[in-house]
Structure 1
């Protein structure tokens, strides 16, 4: 018996990559590596998605299912969904400096085991990176701290 989730993932990646490649070739001008046009990047992404999908399919076909698949875990799904919603609201009301650490900490509660120093370090790093990318780099007007 093969891992059905791996097969489905591989099929999804390959199908989406094939769709992207076909749409890109039929609607956009691709150009050459020296003279890239608007379809060059989507074509590369589509081809890479097909390659990833085929690799996942090959791995699923070669590996045997050793243990049973765990039951669908609803708790982590709800925690991650709730964390995204809460951090979106906090971003607008409390600011980036509050929203990103709360997001990381809430995400960590979805894991069965967590290392709190690692979670806090990740929260700090993600906050700093988010500030540097979105505020400094992209000049987005995101509230930093609204308390």
Structure 2
């Protein structure tokens, strides 16, 4: 009987799948162009190809070593999914900073190791970092605060 590292096998396969979907979409929906004159689909196609390569580099060693079968944990799955949904629903009406704070606080419920004080400190630091990177560094056209009232 051959043993397999199932965690890396599943993870690598999902990375390959994500890269293949992204690459297929960029090659069929956008003009790719050439290396000298890149089109809008060039970078996503290259990124998808690199994801496929990384997934293959994860899957091949996983076929040669043993590892436990991962179990599906519902608590992290539910809380992380809810945090992404909360960010999507709050970012436009309230702005980037409040949406990141709420997302961080909701996502922190996925793990019971972080205290409430630690969760709040993490949320504030992440919101500040997001503001510095996206508003200050990249100039993203998204309000930091946009109160709907």
TM-score, normalised to structure 2's length?
0.69
2:40 aligned counterpart, secondary structure: coil
Compute the RMSD of aligned alpha carbons. Answer: 3.4
Alignment pair present for 1:12 and 2:19: no
- Say if 1:95 and 1:146, in contact at 8 Å, map to a contact too: no
- After TM superposition, the score normalised by the length of structure 1 is 0.70
Query: Offset at 1:79?
Result: 1.5
Aligned residues: 144
**Corresponding residue for 2:127?**
127
- Structure 2 runs not aligned, ≥5 long: none
Confirm or deny: 8 A CA contact 1:13 1:50 kept in the other structure.
yes
Deviations 1:36-85 (A, max 9, x none): 333431232122012111111023113211xx445321112222222333
> 1:144–1:43: structure 2 CA closer, same or farther, 3 Å change rule?
same
Local SS of the residue matching 2:100: helix
Instruction: Report SS of the residue matched to 2:63.
Output: helix
CA separation in 2, counterparts of 1:22 and 1:134? Answer: 26
Distance 2:20 2:147 in 1: 44
Q: Which residue of structure 1 aligns with residue 74 of structure 2?
A: 74
CA apart distance, 1:93: 5.2
Change (3 A) 1:85 1:128: same
Structure 2 distance, partners of 1:37, 1:98, is 36
**Does structure 2 retain, via aligned residues, the 8 Å contact 1:91–1:143?**
no
Go from structure 1 to structure 2 and tell me whether the alpha carbon gap of 1:90 and 1:82 turns closer, same or farther (over 3 Å shift): same
In the aligned structure 1, how far is the partner of 2:24 from the partner of 2:10? 20
Please state how far the C-alpha of 1:3 moved relative to its aligned partner: 2.8
Contact 1:83–1:106 (CA under 8 A) maintained in structure 2: yes
Change in 2 beyond 3 A, CA 1:13/1:117: same
Q: Which runs of 5+ in 1 are unaligned?
A: none
1:30 corresponds to 2:22: no
